Chains A and B, each alone.
Chain A
Amino acid sequence: MIKRILIVDDSPIIHNLLRKTLENNGYEVCGDAKNGKEGVELFNTLSPDLVFMDITMPIMDGLEAAKNIKQTSPNARIIMLSAMGDDEIMAQAKEIGIDIFLKKPFDDYKIVSALSKII
C-alpha cells in the first residue's frame, strides 16, 4: 500500500523538492500546508502515514504543531526539518516524540533513508 505523506513547510521550494523525491520513490504526497496551524488541520483531515514538518513557520511553528498532533495522535510519525538543529530545539523535539530530526541541506538519499527507518 502506498504511504501517504503530509508536507508542512512555509517554503514552496521545500515542498517541490520533497514532492519530487517522494513521488520518485513511490510515496504519495497527500497534502501541503504552509504553516503549523494548517498542518494540524490537514493532519486531522487526511490522517497521513507520516508528516514532514519544518520548524520555523508563521502563525504556528513546527514544534507547536507537532505537539498538537501528538496530543491527539500519539502514534503519529513526524520527521522534523530544520536548517538550525541546535541542541535546545532537538531536545524539545525529542520530548515531543519526534521520530527523526533531519537537518537541511538534505539530499534524496537522506530523505528516503529517514523514511525507511519509520514507515
Chain B
Amino acid sequence: MLSDNYTDLLKYFSIAIEEVVHTMAGFEISASKDPSFFLRDDSPRISGLMLLPSSKNAILSITVSLESASILVSYMTGIPVDELKEEDLYDGVIELVNMIAGRAKSLLIDTTHSFGLTAPFAIYGRDYELVLKKNVSNLSKKYVSGDLEIGFGIFFM
C-alpha cells in the first residue's frame, strides 16, 4: 500500500492533468466517481506513456478512446474531427502526456518528489489493458467531462 506521501503525489498530478486539459483543449475535467481506472468500453484507444526515472522509477500513462482523442485534438488545434489523421491523434496524446509530466514536475519542485522526464510515446489498439504484476504499486484515476474519459495512472516499477 502506498504511503500518504504518494497520495500527495497523486494530488499534484491531478492538478497537472486538469490544468493541461483545460488550457490546451478548454475542458473542465473532474475525477470520476467510478473507481475503475479502465475506460468504459473496448473501442480503440490510445495510451500516451512516459518513463519517469527516479529513486522509485515509474511509468506515467494517459489512456483515451479514439473518440475522446479526436475531440481533444480537435479542440487543441481547431482542425475539425473529420479532418484529423491518425497521426494527429497519436501526436496529440503524446503531447498531452509530455505537458502533464512537465507541469507535475514543476508543481512538485518544492516537495520530496523528484523525477526525470524522458521521451513520451504512444501505443494504440483495441481491447488492450495495462496488466500489472501483483506487487506493483500504482496511483490511478479516471477523469471525465461529459462523454470525454481519460484514464490516468502512475505505475511504480
Nearest Cβ in chain B — how far from A91, in angstroms?
15
Counting CB contacts under 8 A, is A26 at the interface?
A: no
Chain B neighbourhood of A112, CB < 8 A? none
Secondary structure type dominating chain B contacts: helix
In the complex, A105→B16 CA distance in Å?
A: 10
CB < 8 Å: which of B23, B88, B101, B119 contacts A106? B23
Secondary structure type dominating chain A contacts: loop
CB pair A83–B77 under 8 Å, yes or no, is: no
Nearest Cβ in chain A — how far from B12, in angstroms?
15
> Interface on B for A, CB 8 Å cutoff?
19-20, 23-24, 73, 76-79, 87-88, 91-92, 94-95, 98-99, 101-103, 105-106, 117, 119
Counting CB contacts under 8 A, is A94 at the interface?
A: no
CB < 8 Å: which of A11, A86, A107 contacts B95? A11
CB pair A82–B102 under 8 Å, yes or no, is: yes
Nearest Cβ in chain A — how far from B54, in angstroms?
14
Stretch at the interface among A13-21, A41-49, A59-67, A68-76: A13-21
CB < 8 Å: which of A11, A14, A56, A83 contacts B103? A83
In the complex, A46→B103 CA distance in Å?
A: 33
CB pair A85–B106 under 8 Å, yes or no, is: yes
Q: Interface size bucket, A side? A: 10 to 19
CB pair A13–B76 under 8 Å, yes or no, is: yes
CB pair B77–A20 under 8 Å, yes or no, is: yes
Q: A83-B101, A83-B103, A84-B102 are in contact. Are A13 and B117 (CB under 8 A)?
A: no
CB pair B77–A13 under 8 Å, yes or no, is: yes
Chain A neighbourhood of B87, CB < 8 A? 12
Chain A neighbourhood of B19, CB < 8 A? 105
CB pair B23–A105 under 8 Å, yes or no, is: yes
CB pair B24–A105 under 8 Å, yes or no, is: yes
CB pair A83–B91 under 8 Å, yes or no, is: no
